[in-house]
Structure 1
């Protein structure tokens, strides 16, 4: 491996497929300790198998997930796959064992009630069954268990997406390459599909858990919440493509100030003109020159807001910034979607709201405690 080259690994779906192949090898009396798979993109994979045992439910194989250099939360966990051949069908039935979730909300790629075993892993497993039996019409029951998934699911978006009981068995091809920014962004999009399928009239964009907590305290429905991380513009685009009509952006001062300046990727390494933007808007509302300098010299937006508040201008400045976010966001989407903005502090107080956000609140019964 060349210096600096990141190692690839294999997905939970590939682990499950390797377990199925190991189970077939075990039944044939062949060596099962290491199996070869062809990923769906044509990449050959060699996957070690930790153990294979016979159980009352079938042949169970254990494969330990290897994520390479991807910061994947399932790295090192055991994926157990139990294979049972059955005569009453000529298809494969997939079941969720311990730690594998079940779909409970519409909008996902699988119907409600199905185990959250995505189509990539299912295809890999079907390919293995056909390879090992010579037929695509084999009756089998495949149960996938990831016991650690019960706890790991709490660190994922699965609870928001309505996947209950554990994590999802995922993987588009079977190869796990170190996650790119694009892959992370794409992982956020299903939240939009679920919210729209639930009939939510307003999608409420929050950057993370703090925004989620504040939104819920205002009376926003859990199913309306969309975590965006730093990718506000990307998520606005995806929501518009899917026919969303109304969006509320709810965020801390630091995020909304960037959007007021037209910055819709809010990571500080992409753009960080928070203090300059605050200084400009505060100066436009009458902040004295010395105080403007103090804003520019502040360490954080919280420090800067204290300067602005001391001058009695906080309410006016925050209202103007929220209005500017509304204008910038609707312009970003070429007027296709109504977008409102709520600026909050970490305590959950509403610091600024535009007219669109206030109308959303009236129409949908949100409780706005505007006490900065």
Structure 2
């Protein structure tokens, strides 16, 4: 893929997600099966808005009723366990109209709740699922039906070196990607670009910034009218961004984020990457116990697969007060981290429950800025 981004003075190449590869392979297989078209490359529409060309390999017919093609995962200049893997799609004629999507060899299967895919289903996330179905539907003759099976022969081996086993995804990789495009990662380059973004915001005269770790927080801010023009996605670099904000003279920081990320701040974890520290469930269990959770509820929280699942256990027990404690503690730890020189507020939400809590400082910042929340 010949698209590049400048980060920290470095020219880095974009790549494709496993979702884009699966959609391309599926489209090529459908073209071969239903139209006899042998495509060395196919064009794919990605959620990022880019239409990209993907090379196709190993085009094969299996009798008259099925075709198989593959695309090679190209992660660009991003370090990625799945880079270079072959992602295959087998498209088979079906008796009924429509498209049925399945996961085959090397595609993980979800075994625990709390993810975007239900237990028992193949680990093909919602966005790539829609991409695959859309690309096949675009070339499927009217009245025809197809069963699409995505598989990756190396998937099971590669998945052992990922976080899939910890998440309860067994037997292979996940087909993922919310944009269809892999943006190359360079830690120092990312930090520098974040610092520059913060510096530009401060240069505009802003004394308040809204920090969010990622897209979930950004989307929550947009949907709830919270400081979109002051919003900066910090990725995992919470501590770094707080210190840079203090150096630049910001007076207020409002954190808005998913409970699974911001609960780490309450534990004093300022690099949010799971490899640097992960006490999400333990922290939630401690704050649930603080507001009255019994041994059984604490056990359910600690045995949860994700923070989202733990949140449901807390809410089911009527212990929502725990989230207010987490928000207050997160803000306090952030103030300490940057020398007490910045007012910090925290807004927590979950995908299933929406707004969970905001601390007093967050309310003050939002009222001062005229944000409805």
1:221 aligns with 2:306: no
1:160 aligns with 2:166: yes
User: Which residue of 21, 26, 36 corresponds with 1:20?
Assistant: 26
Residues matched between the structures, number: 250
CA deviations over 1:172-223 (Å, ceiling 9, x no partner): 2322222578777869999949xxxxxxxxx9998756767x97xxx88342
Distance in 2 (CA, whole Å) between partners of 1:102 and 1:22 is: 25
1:74 aligns with 2:82: yes
1:97 aligns with 2:112: no
- Return the offset for 1:52: 1.4
Q: What is aligned with 2:184?
A: 178
Distance in 2 (CA, whole Å) between partners of 1:191 and 1:58 is: 45
Q: What is aligned with 1:34?
A: 41
User: Which residue of 138, 146, 150 corresponds with 1:140?
Assistant: 146
CA RMSD of the aligned region, Å?
A: 4.9
- Return the offset for 1:130: 2.2
- Return the offset for 1:153: 2.4
SS in 2 for 1:114: coil
Contact 2:19 2:128 in 1 (8 A): yes
Which runs of structure 2 are paired with 1:240-319 in the superposition (5 Å)?
A: 245-246=321-322, 262=335
* Distance of aligned partners of 1:204 and 1:123 in 2 relative to their CA distance in 1, 3 Å threshold: same
User: Which residue of 115, 119, 129 corresponds with 2:126?
Assistant: 119
Q: What is aligned with 2:114?
A: 107
SS in 2 for 1:14: helix
Q: What is aligned with 1:200?
A: none
* Distance of aligned partners of 1:18 and 1:211 in 2 relative to their CA distance in 1, 3 Å threshold: closer
- Return the offset for 1:26: 2.4
Contact 1:161 1:191 in 2 (8 A): no
* Distance of aligned partners of 1:221 and 1:138 in 2 relative to their CA distance in 1, 3 Å threshold: farther
Q: What is aligned with 1:304?
A: none
- Return the offset for 1:62: 1.6
Distance in 1 (CA, whole Å) between partners of 2:17 and 2:134 is: 16
User: Which residue of 346, 359, 363 corresponds with 1:334?
Assistant: 359
- Return the offset for 1:169: 0.4
- Return the offset for 1:30: 2.4
1:65 aligns with 2:90: no
SS in 1 for 2:102: strand
Contact 1:20 1:83 in 2 (8 A): yes
Which runs of structure 2 are paired with 1:345-356 in the superposition (5 Å)?
A: none
- Return the offset for 1:143: 1.1
Distance in 1 (CA, whole Å) between partners of 2:278 and 2:49 is: 42
Bigger Rg over Cα: 1
CA deviations over 1:287-330 (Å, ceiling 9, x no partner): xxxxxxxxxxxxxxxxxxxxxxxxxxxxxxxxxxxxxxxxx999
- Return the offset for 1:335: 7.1
* Distance of aligned partners of 1:160 and 1:131 in 2 relative to their CA distance in 1, 3 Å threshold: same
SS in 1 for 2:160: helix
After alignment, is 2-11 or 14-23 more displaced?
2-11
Distance in 1 (CA, whole Å) between partners of 2:61 and 2:116 is: 33
After alignment, is 153-162 or 75-84 more displaced?
153-162
- Return the offset for 1:224: 6.3
CA deviations over 1:90-142 (Å, ceiling 9, x no partner): 2322211122111222232222221111122121122222221254x642111
Q: What is aligned with 1:43?
A: 50
